Chains A and B, each alone.
Chain A
Amino acid sequence: MPRSALMGTRIRETRLRRGLRQAELARQVGVSPSYLNLIEHNRRRPGAALAEALGAALQIPPGAFAEDAQDPLLDALREAAAAGQGFEAAEFERIEEFVGRFPGWAELLAGQGRRLAALEQTVERLSDRMTHDPYLSAALHDVLSAISSVRSTAAILAESDDIDPGWRQRFHANLHADSERLGAGAQALVSYLDNAEDEEMSLAAPQEELEAWLAAQEYHVAALEHGSEAAIEALIADAPELATRPARALAARFLHRYRADARALPLGPFLAALRALGPDPAALAARFDAPLPMVLRRIAALPPREGVAQSGLVLCDASGTLVFRKPVQGFAFPRFGAACPLWPLYQALLQPARPIHRRVEMAGRMPRRFQTYAICSPHPSARFDAPMVVEATMLILPAEAEGVAADGGAAEPVGTSCRICPREGCPARREPSILAEEF
């Protein structure tokens, strides 16, 4: 990420473009030139009021600074700090200064943090596999049994001079059969472990592979807007991001649903309705007589230059596990582990079939507001006389997005995850935050 995106650097660059002297800008916003100098060099972070004054003086659109606060690099460093043992909370306040002064080291640290988290996941998966994989257990047992047989039989033949010819012949036949079985078993095991290396030891989880591919498509799969079932196979085959079989299976499931959504809510009419009605999921659902979760998914899958400017989408199952994540700037998702229990997504889980519209404010140095639309519905694969399987869907729209309902009134406070959430006195807090105070 270019470091020019940092707030201080951006203030400095904008001021210079406007031909303003540092002292003049400092005077306009009511701070000392030396303090402004610290801000411009990312050594200090202005509070909300000062940021607003600087934005007004420099004619920077509202919300632009907030984007800086949600810089992916800063998020990655916060996550790395949250995962670290004994990290000094006081230094947490200086992450942006660190990024500003040592951008290369910051990138490296964030990258190492991501890699560490991914490796931990891999270790967990491998450990799980070694412990519980029935195929591996059975295959190893088979190989060891064959070796036992060979060892016993060979010892009998080697140590017995007076063995009956009939027995000798049987033991030779057994040795032959066991050696063939051993060869086949060993080959199968090697092949299995080779595949496991490809599929299970890859650093990305299958969900991450799918999300990486979708991100490259900007979450809009144009080939499926009018495409056939065959297009799905072609898409998957041509996607280098989908390197493993589990990821390809996830992608197939996602794309079949995408195609069904696209057929039920065709792009042209849906865009026309969106322009007429605004991004109002209930009105759109009524217009097309379509299920709300489908409408939420469809809004999030529109081409970014034709639909709403920005939209995020998150899906979870009944355990609260996030099974799909389309990020939106300013509303950070935890990469691993559980999210904030105050998300309307989880409130929807508690009230199946009830649409929930909430205005929320994401915690951060520059809190941002979003309109969220959530609903929990039975999973499409639900069957009679089977355990209830549900899925919750939440569409996230920036409050300032065009056409989104006016952002008046209070917003419900939410965060990303407890470890990096600064909110004090939160009734839903699971564990202490590493932030002693606000960002």
Chain B
Amino acid sequence: MGKHALLIEDEPNITEAIRFILARDGWQVSIHGDGADAVDVVARIAPDIVILDVMLPGRSGYEILDELRAGAATRDLPVLMLTARGQERDRRRAEDAGASRFMTKPFSNSEVLAAMREMVGP
């Protein structure tokens, strides 16, 4: 069984596409579409990596990341942030919150895969 990725994203078609390319690449993929309880889901699933959208219903990706970085178990968890915002201040905001990597939409499938392999290994 490959590494476990948790995708927190509320756009169903993006979710479906990412899930497909990750599964085909050998990843075990879990999906969650709501920001409100995302931290609980991370704690329960304990993935190897999280792909986290910024604009989520219930709670923003930045807030979720802040809480993940404050928890002992998730302080060093690799997190790839996805956002439609690509301005420098958004990149800084993601870095300040502790994102391992920041990627702006629209992204390419190969970029996502390459970044994930680099972050947690094949």
Interface residues of A, Cβ cutoff 8 Å to B: 140-141, 144-145, 147-153, 155-156, 159-160, 167, 170-171, 174, 177-178
Contact = CB atoms under 8 A, between A and B. Distances in A.
B87 to A, nearest CB: 10
A156 B109 contact: yes
Nearest to B112: A152
A159 B108 CA distance: 12
Contacts of A155: 108-110
B1 interface: no
Given A151-B106, A156-B109, A144 B17 contact: no
A181 to B, nearest CB: 9
The 5 lowest CB-CB distance pairs between A and B, nearest first, are A152-B17, A144-B84, A148-B105, A149-B13, A148-B106
Contacts of B109: 152, 155-156, 159
Contact of B84 (A140, A153, A156, A171): A140
Contacts of A170: 16
B108 A147 contact: no
Contacts of B106: 144, 147-148, 150-152
Nearest to A140: B84
A148 B16 contact: no
A141 B14 contact: no
24 contacts: A141-B55, A144-B105, A144-B106, A145-B11, A145-B14, A145-B84, A145-B105, A149-B14, A150-B106, A151-B106, A151-B108, A152-B17, A152-B18, A152-B107, A153-B13, A156-B21, A156-B109, A160-B24, A167-B20, A171-B16, A171-B17, A174-B13, A177-B13, A178-B13
Given A141-B84, A148-B107, A152-B108, 6 more contacts: A144-B105, A145-B11, A145-B84, A148-B11, A148-B14, A151-B106
Nearest to B54: A141
A148 B13 CA distance: 9
A147 B105 contact: yes
> Looking at A147, A156, A170, which has the most chain B CB atoms within 10 Å of its CB?
A156
B55 A152 contact: no
Contacts of B110: 155
A156 B14 contact: no
Interface residues of B, number: 18
A152 B14 contact: yes
> Looking at B14, B85, B109, which has the most chain A CB atoms within 10 Å of its CB?
B14
Interface string B42-63: 0000000000000100000000
Nearest to A153: B17
Interface string B66-93: 0000000000000000001100000000
Contacts of A156: 17, 20-21, 109
Contacts of B105: 144-145, 147-148
> Looking at A148, A160, A167, which has the most chain B CB atoms within 10 Å of its CB?
A148
A153 B109 CA distance: 9
A150 B110 CA distance: 15
B37 to A, nearest CB: 22
A149 B109 CA distance: 10
B56 to A, nearest CB: 11
Contacts of B20: 156, 167, 171
Nearest to A142: B84
